[in-house]
């Protein structure tokens, strides 16, 4: 059955971006918004973000990853370096990530450059993960084709036996990325589609704040 989506409408009326109240620094603004989203019962996994990359040919790809840390230095997530996203970043480290907190009618878009975090930092985070997640990172050659799920299950069973009672080492091809922002956009839904959009762009180490038309 084909649905007609043309008539789908939603009026956004939960907030506004008042110029006088918007922080001068985008990291401060993000921290404030993230805290609200993280505390809200309307939002599941406030740290879920869409990471967009473009490979060497220019073909874009997007997927959900989990933000694990943020500071004035940038935004950290972890992945398999040999995955589609890892290979794309190796070819072109310009990335875009976005958060869509629909329950708050808010979106944040961050553009920047992704670099690997230190091996020591990746090892420390890997050691803090649940044991099942550690084994999952060892089992999966992320993004590679596989004959069936049974292959994964058999490999997992073998590794569970191999590392029973032992520490699980971090895979060499697994670790963190730091996104160093060059631009932010904060979007607040408003009625009549006259949404609020505040953009921050980095210019000679200073953040320039602008209001964009909806």
- The structure tokens listed for 182 are 């060059």
Stated as kind and residue range, the H or E segment containing 116 is strand 106-116
Alpha carbon distances (Å) from 83 to 79, 80, 90, 144, 195: 8, 5, 10, 8, 36
Burial, 26: exposed, middle or buried (Cβ in 10 Å; 0-12, 13-18, 19+)? buried
Given the residues 191, 193, 197, 211, select the one marked as catalytic: 193
Q: Kindly report each contact of residues 123-129 with a partner whose C-beta sits within 8 Å and lies 24 or more positions away, as own/partner.
A: 123/170, 125/68, 125/78, 125/176, 126/78, 126/170, 126/174, 126/175, 127/167, 127/170
Alpha carbon distances (Å) from 147 to 81, 150, 151, 153: 22, 8, 7, 12
Stated as kind and residue range, the H or E segment containing 41 is none
197 tagged catalytic: no
Taking the chain, what is the end-to-end CA distance rounded to the nearest angstrom? 34
Q: Which residues are catalytic?
A: 193
């Amino acid at each position: 059955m084909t649905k007609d989506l043309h008539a789908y409408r939603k009026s956004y009326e939960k907030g506004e971006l008042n110029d006088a109240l918007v922080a001068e620094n985008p990291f401060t603004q993000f921290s404030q918004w993230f805290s609200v989203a993280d505390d809200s019962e309307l939002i599941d996994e406030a740290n879920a973000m869409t990471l967009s990359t473009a490979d060497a040919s220019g073909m874009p790809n997007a997927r959900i990853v989990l933000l694990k840390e943020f500071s004035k230095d940038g935004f950290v997530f972890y992945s398999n370096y040999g995955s589609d996203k890892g290979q794309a970043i190796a070819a072109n480290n310009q990335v875009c990530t976005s958060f869509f907190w629909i329950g708050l009618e808010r979106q944040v878009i961050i553009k920047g450059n992704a670099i690997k975090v230190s091996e020591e930092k990746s090892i420390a985070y890997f050691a803090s993960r649940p044991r099942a997640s550690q084994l999952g990172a060892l089992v999966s050659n992320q993004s590679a084709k596989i004959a069936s799920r049974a292959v994964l299950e058999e490999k997992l069973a073998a590794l569970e036996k191999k590392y029973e009672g032992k520490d699980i080492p971090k895979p060499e091809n697994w670790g963190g990325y730091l996104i160093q922002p060059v631009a932010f956009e904060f979007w607040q839904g408003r009625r009549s589609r006259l949404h609020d959009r505040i953009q921050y762009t980095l210019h000679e180490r200073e953040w320039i704040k602008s209001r964009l038309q909806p």
